[in-house]
């Protein structure tokens, strides 16, 4: 494992780049509806990127480091952040749902009231690449939630490193991303931006 001193900053800066892909996809479609969907999605992503940045920076103040390894080691010594930063945990979950366009906030893919967002005119392999990027961003958010709030690879009792607990926590958070689809109705766009 490579320990990067600014791992969180690097992950956040590279995750911002998907905004460019959305704007360029809407613009290159040649459709006004696709471009308007891209602008709507960009506004949503920028609004929730700001909240994720504030949450991550406030988490990094505890171990006084931007290294994921030091954040996990701090949680190994002092307990998981989910127990004493519970409001930030729920805000990060909501922001990550909006950031990855999952169900209550999946306005780019709202079929009934919108025209399918920024990928209206794209089909076949381009459409597959959009969803491949979306599901890879879901996996990245699941890993971030695990490392920032659930102690990473540290087991339920401190100082136990277990691959089983690591995979269990990853699957639990990913299951939350899947189950929320059937539990919460879709927000309107104005409700989404007001919540942000």
Highest mean pLDDT, choosing among 71-75, 100-104, 106-110, 120-124: 71-75
Q: Which two tokens stand for residue 18?
A: 């998907």
* Residue listed under structure tokens 């491949």: 132
Q: Please give the share of the chain, as a percent, with pLDDT higher than 70.
A: 86
Contact status, residue 34 vs residue 130, Cβ threshold 8 Å? no
* In a domain? residue 1: no
Give the Cα separation of 48 and 65 in Å (integer).
Answer: 23
Between 42 and 111, residue with greater pLDDT: 42
Confidence of residue 110 (pLDDT cuts 50, 70, 90): low
* In a domain? residue 2: no
- Indicate whether 13 pLDDT > 60: yes
Give the Cα separation of 138 and 136 in Å (integer).
Answer: 5
How much is the pLDDT for 89?
92
- Indicate whether 92 pLDDT > 80: yes
- The residues, any chain, with a CB within 8 Å of residue 176's CB and separated by 6 or more, are 93
- Indicate whether 25 pLDDT > 60: yes
User: Taking all residues of the chain, what is their mean pLDDT, rounded to a whole number?
Assistant: 80
* In a domain? residue 87: yes
Between 67 and 154, residue with greater pLDDT: 67
CA proximity to 148, closest of 56, 62, 84, 76: 56
Q: Total domain count for the chain?
A: 1
Contact status, residue 67 vs residue 4, Cβ threshold 8 Å? yes
Mean pLDDT value across residues 86-114: 76
- Indicate whether 10 pLDDT > 80: yes
Task: Give the range of the structural domain holding residue 158, as residue numbers without chain letter.
Answer: 7-195
- Indicate whether 120 pLDDT > 80: no
Mean pLDDT value across residues 149-157: 77
């Amino acid at each position: 494992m490579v320990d990067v001193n600014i791992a969180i900053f690097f992950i956040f800066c590279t995750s911002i780049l998907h905004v460019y892909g959305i704007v360029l996809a809407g613009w290159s479609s040649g459709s006004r509806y696709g471009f308007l969907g891209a602008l709507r999605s960009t506004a949503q992503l920028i609004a929730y990127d700001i909240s994720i940045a504030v949450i991550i920076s406030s988490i990094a103040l505890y171990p006084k480091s931007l290294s994921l390894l030091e954040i996990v080691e701090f949680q190994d010594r002092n307990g998981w952040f989910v127990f004493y930063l519970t409001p930030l945990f729920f805000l990060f979950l909501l922001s990550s749902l909006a950031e990855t366009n999952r169900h209550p906030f999946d306005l780019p893919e709202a079929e009934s009231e919108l025209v399918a967002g920024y990928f209206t005119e794209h089909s076949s392999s381009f459409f597959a690449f959009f969803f491949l990027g979306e599901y890879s961003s879901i996996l990245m958010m699941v890993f971030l939630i695990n490392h920032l709030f659930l102690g990473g690879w540290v087991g339920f009792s401190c100082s136990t490193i277990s691959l089983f607990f690591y995979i269990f926590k990853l699957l639990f958070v990913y299951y939350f991303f899947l189950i929320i689809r059937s539990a919460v109705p879709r927000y309107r766009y104005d409700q989404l931006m007001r919540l942000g």
